[in-house]
Structure 1
């Protein structure tokens, strides 16, 4: 089985302070899954945030941060709280199992390992996670355009704000509005308007193609792009790409005062969350104000917020 197949079958994080236990589990699971490992709780949390495993096999008793501490830390972090945890431990009493489940574990496996049971439970919980992820994807996707919806944007913005604050990195937002879209609907009909929205969304997707970038439909004919760890210059480059990509669609729009084809106006705002001068809502408001300036300046262009204030 190739590495790609292993990754597709699920990424596992095995956490145990005894290397022999990690080796046993890796031998049992490594042929089917991509396997990461950590020898202590601190490293486990680091890998969970960086690598986002699909499932964690977690030893309960370890020096320093034990399994219960690690599980509590995972459940307290929005970035990783959705990762299922199976406790793997030599503790066997009902009280131990209850404590593990109350800490947030989804299952409990005792040592010494029954390899067949370990494999079966790993497969079961990976399947459940895929089903949960698929349901969550449905609730976070705009049904018309197929891009993320406003709820997804709000959730991701909160997470990326905290991440960029920890990393002392920049965070940019671009608000996008299709120029004179009401006139487009009046002239061509709402069915054509829906097709136009899908075409514009599809054209914008590759303009911000990094894994952390997010394009979302904000409402009506308005979209938003979140660009973590991107400064003003990088955000302006993305805005220029979007303008060009939408123009290249060459969708006729005889009722527009900006062009004879469909165009967009954009507002760009950038901030360093670690500075503490504003919050995430202020960043979005600043991008929206810059969008208003682009519209007032003639549309089919982008404007940059001069500053982001509370």
Structure 2
């Protein structure tokens, strides 16, 4: 079985001694990250995406309330559970923390045993939520991400790339003449064909950050996070096309080839705040239609757009 990724714990406190104390409690169980300011905490949360944040209230610059509010407002970090650790024990402060979206609230001085139990409980709750979310965002036939998951990740990545002005890549692809395949071979073999193509796509995208999804019917989508240059995206698309062809799945009803083939539309774009993820999909779809209208079993690319 593949090794499960380490659980990441982000400790946010302006007192290095407190950070060290908490880190020592969990060093053998979790990967511990730390930040001594609210600004640094937001930076780490957006890049490392920890499984739980232990957040002090009194911080230089942005205080714990402001940090929690920003975490919950950002789609990239909104699902990360926050556990406040603070010296303020009044009910007004605790109520405000919970209203901002914190999952729990612990007062100082820290009781190590209580903290370990509450952290364990929050981690277990998050893992249970993650398992349910995976079921809700996985395509039941192919086992890859479904349309819901695709929309969610594309929106998140577009927002992230828009903040940094960096490039994002998207491939939309379609199995050529798939209706004819179903009519000829039946839906059971049609399902087998979809699963075989999905497996090729998933195995060919080598980076864990990229996403393959079933977009609908016989159409698939690949999100290329931190997108390669246009030529690199085209090279990848052509590799996907060749690997599907190499499956040599017979398709006697196809006017394009004697075996199952795919057509692909590719876009690489520099995202910005004034546009949307839907424009990225629209442009990739236009390239897919161009590939189909040009004879199918090919890749078409548009590059360096602002999306």
RMSD across aligned C-alpha pairs, in angstroms? Answer: 1.7
What per-residue deviation string (whole Å, max 9, x for no partner) do you get for residues 185-220 of structure 1? Answer: 011100110111000000111222212211111110
Shift of 1:275: 8.5
The one of 66, 76, 83 aligned to 2:63: 66
TM-score between both structures, scaled by the size of structure 2? 0.94
**2:55 counterpart of 1:51:** no
Aligned 8 A contact 1:184 1:253 in 2: yes
The one of 210, 217, 220 aligned to 1:220: 217
Residue pairs, 1:164-175, within 5 angstroms: 164-175=161-172
CA–CA separation in structure 2 for the residues paired with 1:307 and 1:97: 48
**2:268 counterpart of 1:253:** no
**2:27 counterpart of 1:14:** no
**2:191 counterpart of 1:194:** yes
CA–CA separation in structure 1 for the residues paired with 2:41 and 2:251: 54
The one of 169, 181, 185 aligned to 1:184: 181
CA 1:306–1:88 in structure 2 vs 1: closer, same or farther (change >3 Å)? closer
Aligned 8 A contact 2:230 2:304 in 1: no
CA–CA separation in structure 2 for the residues paired with 1:77 and 1:309: 22
Match in the other structure for 1:117? 114
CA–CA separation in structure 1 for the residues paired with 2:198 and 2:300: 20
Match in the other structure for 1:25? 22
Match in the other structure for 2:202? 205
What per-residue deviation string (whole Å, max 9, x for no partner) do you get for residues 238-290 of structure 1? Answer: 101111110111111111111111110111122211385x5322221121111
Secondary structure of the residue aligned to 1:305 is strand
**2:77 counterpart of 1:80:** yes
Shift of 1:165: 1.7
**2:288 counterpart of 1:288:** no
Match in the other structure for 2:136? 139
Deviates more, 1:158-167 or 1:266-275: 266-275
What per-residue deviation string (whole Å, max 9, x for no partner) do you get for residues 54-88 of structure 1? Answer: 00000011121111110001000000110000000
Match in the other structure for 1:38? 35
Aligned residues: 304
CA–CA separation in structure 2 for the residues paired with 1:23 and 1:309: 45
CA–CA separation in structure 2 for the residues paired with 1:305 and 1:23: 50
Residue pairs, 1:85-96, within 5 angstroms: 85-96=82-93
Shift of 1:115: 0.7
Unaligned residue ranges in structure 1 (runs of 5+): none
Aligned 8 A contact 2:269 2:306 in 1: no
Shift of 1:308: 5.1
The one of 158, 161, 178 aligned to 1:161: 158
CA–CA separation in structure 1 for the residues paired with 2:268 and 2:181: 31
TM-score between both structures, scaled by the size of structure 1? 0.94
Secondary structure of the residue aligned to 2:272 is helix
CA–CA separation in structure 2 for the residues paired with 1:275 and 1:105: 28
Aligned 8 A contact 1:71 1:103 in 2: yes
Runs of 4 or more off by more than 6 Å in structure 1? none
Unaligned residue ranges in structure 2 (runs of 5+): none
Residue pairs, 1:227-246, within 5 angstroms: 227-230=224-227, 231-246=229-244
Match in the other structure for 1:302? 299
